[in-house]
Amino acid sequence: MSVRETFPKRRTNPSKSEKGKNYQKHKPDLEEDFNHCCGYCGAFDGFGYTRTYFEIDHFVPKDFLMNSGSQIGLSKYSNLVYSCRFCNNNKSKHWPSQRDDVYHNGSIGFIEPCDPDYDNHLYRTSDGGILWHTPLGKWMATIAFKFDQRMEEIKLLWNYNKTRIAIEKIIEELINYPEDSSEYKEIENKLNPICKKHYFLQRQLASFYNE
Ligand SMILES: [Zn+2]
């Protein structure tokens, strides 16, 4: 399974200018293009804004761009990634290639999160964890992003988002029928177990972040 629920796709014409240093102006476009999920770990941004705060990551890091004389500007849209704070912070100090046109050497470095190759290196397990297919995937997961140290949280956020999406789908189906119809009642019955699961995941997440 893919690490991200929906594969992110960056627009080619961002609605704000790619000139200047104020890259924050791209956040609404990025949120949409990354489907409100972290480009790296796939965490959904709709839970607990204070603890799972979402940021803009520079794929080729900001410090490297500023200190290397690179031609890639800070607001260059194709270099921006919608990222949870944990992935952004963990990635920050890593850029092994020390070049702006080389992302990895096959065993260390990064795959750009909108590149279909991302899923060749990392995958989602059936219980919502993240594992790797390749040495490069292992490097990203364990050395850079430290998914292994955040596995419990990663699983909770993934399953929470899965139940959220499932509830949304059922409700969209439900509203097509009058409340007193047998179809309505049948669909409504499907909601009970999934809502219960969603509720308990939310409680688990809340206690996880309060620890
Ligand atoms: Zn993340």
pLDDT digits (tens, 9 = 90+) for 13-34: 999 999 999 999 999 999 999 9
Residue 77 burial by CB count (10 A; 0-12/13-18/19+): exposed, middle or buried? buried
* 37 Cα–ligand 1 center, Å: 8
The pLDDT assigned to 51 comes to 53
All residues at 6 or more sequence positions from 147 whose CB lies less than 8 Å from its CB, including other chains: 41, 129, 130, 141, 154
Q: How many angstroms is it from 107 CA to the middle of ligand 1?
A: 21
Residues with CB under 5 A from ligand 1 (ion): 38, 40-41, 43, 84, 87
Q: What is the CA(55)–ligand 1 centre distance, in A?
A: 10
Q: How far apart are the CA of 22 and the centre of ligand 1, in A?
A: 22
CA of 84 to the centre of ligand 1 (A): 4
Q: Compute, in angstroms, the gap from residue 67 CA to the centroid of ligand 1.
A: 26
Q: What is the pLDDT of residue 52?
A: 60
Q: How far does residue 103's CA lie from ligand 1's centre (Å)? A: 19
Lowest mean per-residue pLDDT among 26-35, 70-79, 86-95: 86-95
Measure Cα distances from 115 to 7, 41, 65, 148, 194 in Å. Answer: 9, 14, 21, 23, 33
| Cα–Cα distance for residue pair 89/55, rounded to 1 Å | 10
The predicted pLDDT at position 199 comes to 93
Q: Where are the domains of the chain?
A: 23-149, 153-210
CA–centroid distance, residue 125 to ligand 1 (Å): 16
Q: From ligand 1's centre to the CA of 189, what distance in Å? A: 34
Mean pLDDT taken over the chain: 93
Asked whether residue 188 carries a pLDDT value surpassing 60, the answer given is yes
Residue 80 sits at φ, ψ, to 5 deg, of: -105, 145
Quote the ligand 1 centre to 185 CA distance (angstroms).
38
> Given this model, what pLDDT does residue 49 score?
46
50 pLDDT higher than 70: no
Chain segment 101-140, per-residue pLDDT in tens: 999 999 999 999 999 999 999 999 999 999 999 999 999 9
C-alpha 199/C-alpha 75 separation (Å) is 39
Closest CA to 127 of 104, 155, 146, 162: 155
Could you tell me which of 84, 90, 78, 105 has the C-alpha nearest to residue 23? 78
